[in-house]
Structure 1
Amino acid sequence: MTENPDFPTLLRMIDERSAAFRAAITAAPRLDADVPSCPGWTLYDLANHLSEGDRFWAHIVRNTAPGDERPTKDGLAAPTERGELMAWLADSTEQLLAALREVGPDRSCWAWWEPLASPHTVAAVARRRVPESMIHTYDAQLASGDPRELPTTEALDAAEEFLATVGTVTVPWPGEPATMDYHATEGRSWRQTVDAAGSRFTRLTPAEATLSKPTAALHGTASEPALLMYMRIPADAVRTEGDAGLLQRLQNWG
């Protein structure tokens, strides 16, 4: 079974996805263009959000421990002139990468998610920042009318990381127990189970993926499960089997 990306690979992915985000912002005709997938935001707002997040998590991995109060952001806004904004974005990414390299993957830190399938460690923070940059790159491309498929390796891990970090909780599921399977054509499958104990996931073997009988199942390219989980494309964009309304109920619950 394929292993999750190691720490050096995660750092490389952050660097590459952040560079792709800057390229999308550079290519955009206007910074005040609306971002359809982030209602109420312009491209500048999107850039400010991503750079703020990079700086925020750089502070977290250096200065916090599990159980600390939620840290505050520095309150600094990105510059609005395009050239200065590009430099600001690059510096924000470097601040994050420098902090991750300096502290290393095993250190514990504050995090907002339940430490069940995704621990409160620097490695988990690095893994979380990859889809953050990647999905927002898609948002920026969409705002310019040029959305592209997510890169395969990053997309596969983004789907699993979402299930581990966002989709694993102890909050009781309000409906009947259910299972949702996600199948990527590149050979990765997962099952999300929801019931009174909350939500959890498992990665399915090829045999399990073939024989499984879930409440519902979605089939798509590597890019599509990740985009679905982040609500960037509708459920009817991919082939669905079983209870077609389960994904919407999961998204409403989250």
Structure 2
Amino acid sequence: MTNSPDYSALLQLIDERSAAFRSAVAAAPSLDAPVPSCPEWRLFDLVQHLGTGQRWWAAIVAAGPAEAPPAKEAAEAPRELHALLAWYDDSRALLLRTLREAGPERECWTWWSAGVSPANARGVARRRVHEVLVHTYDAQLAAGAVKPMPVDVALDGVAEFLDTCNSTPAAWPHEAATIHYHATEGRSWLLTLDGTGAWPAPLPHDAPPPSASATGTAEQLLLFVWGRLTLNDLKVEGDRQVFERLIAWEPEE
């Protein structure tokens, strides 16, 4: 796994990014405001999605090692703003309390267990930081007031996405390829795609030229890998088809 904040810092980031998400929701004109980056959702749907996710992952961590996750909470969140924000606050608090009690090494079910990111509370905490980070962008977009992401958090967000979503032992079904991601703030990553799977790593200084590369700010790269921006928003060199194939790939493990 690529370097990331320690466990206590991850928990603090969940709290801080949740506060930013909450502020964006409270500032929006209506819970019925459309979310441009999630076209099928209104702002209420976004809050319910994130809050339900916090509760579900709390249950997953609390359950410990398991072959399957517990069922998601079926009850719908309240539709009045103050009640909804209180419900979301309870969701955040439950997740943080569970993660603190579990400690970073508590093993649990995760959908990324075959990849680089660990299947434990630390891996969950890191994923939840960036889930909240990106959904805060979504909420701010709905509210019409997008704020810059903290650069260090966005940088780790790119690495975390590669460690989970682009990390698998499932064979790459195309010609072997390499991708370089370059953040203008000075960090770069290598993604290798071949018959052994997809494997991310920090970019070594002596790496040969890639099949394709993408350059942008940390925030732009993060929003790209999460599907909020497109290749046209980045500086792309090499074979764009490699990116297109990666985006379309649904590996079977």
Cα offset, 1:44, TM superposition: 0.2
1:229 to 225, 230, 245: 225
What amino acid sits opposite 1:215 in the alignment?
S
In structure 2, the partner of 1:16 is 16
Cα offset, 1:197, TM superposition: 1.8
Aligned equivalents of 1:115, 1:23: Cα separation in 2: 36
CA displacement 1:113-158 (0-9 Å, x = unmatched): 1333111110000000001001001111112232333211111111
1:249 to 239, 245, 250: 245
In structure 2, the partner of 1:169 is 168
Aligned equivalents of 1:99, 1:190: Cα separation in 2: 32
Aligned equivalents of 2:115, 2:232: Cα separation in 1: 31
Cα offset, 1:224, TM superposition: 1.2
The DSSP-based 3-state class of the residue aligned with 1:114 is: coil
Contact 1:191–1:201 (CA<8 Å) still a contact in 2?
A: yes
Aligned equivalents of 1:250, 1:32: Cα separation in 2: 34
Aligned equivalents of 1:115, 1:197: Cα separation in 2: 12
Contact 1:114–1:168 (CA<8 Å) still a contact in 2?
A: no
Aligned equivalents of 1:38, 1:116: Cα separation in 2: 27
Answering whether residue 36 of structure 2 is matched by residue 43 of structure 1, we say no
What amino acid sits opposite 1:65 in the alignment?
P
What amino acid sits opposite 1:54 in the alignment?
Q
Q: Map of 1:25-104 to 2, 5 A cutoff? A: 25-66=25-66, 68-104=67-103
Contact 1:117–1:168 (CA<8 Å) still a contact in 2?
A: yes
Answering whether residue 189 of structure 2 is matched by residue 190 of structure 1, we say yes
What amino acid sits opposite 2:76 in the alignment?
A
Stretch moving more, 213-222 or 145-154: 145-154
In structure 2, the partner of 1:181 is 180
In structure 2, the partner of 1:218 is 214
Contact 2:114–2:169 (CA<8 Å) still a contact in 1?
A: no
Coordinate RMSD, CA, aligned: 1.4
Aligned equivalents of 1:81, 1:249: Cα separation in 2: 42
The DSSP-based 3-state class of the residue aligned with 1:245 is: helix
In structure 2, the partner of 1:204 is 203
The DSSP-based 3-state class of the residue aligned with 2:52 is: helix
Cα offset, 1:195, TM superposition: 1.5
The DSSP-based 3-state class of the residue aligned with 1:201 is: strand
Aligned equivalents of 1:212, 1:226: Cα separation in 2: 24
What amino acid sits opposite 2:215 in the alignment?
H
CA displacement 1:40-90 (0-9 Å, x = unmatched): 111000000000010111111111314x22310121221100011111111
What amino acid sits opposite 2:171 in the alignment?
P
Cα offset, 1:212, TM superposition: 3.7
TM-score by length of 1: 0.94
- In structure 2, runs of 5+ residues without a counterpart are none
Q: Map of 1:100-115 to 2, 5 A cutoff? A: 100-115=99-114
Contact 2:60–2:69 (CA<8 Å) still a contact in 1?
A: no
- In structure 1, runs of 5+ residues without a counterpart are none
Aligned equivalents of 1:3, 1:173: Cα separation in 2: 25
Work out the number of aligned pairs and report it.
249
Aligned equivalents of 1:9, 1:25: Cα separation in 2: 24
Contact 2:178–2:192 (CA<8 Å) still a contact in 1?
A: yes
Cα offset, 1:24, TM superposition: 0.6
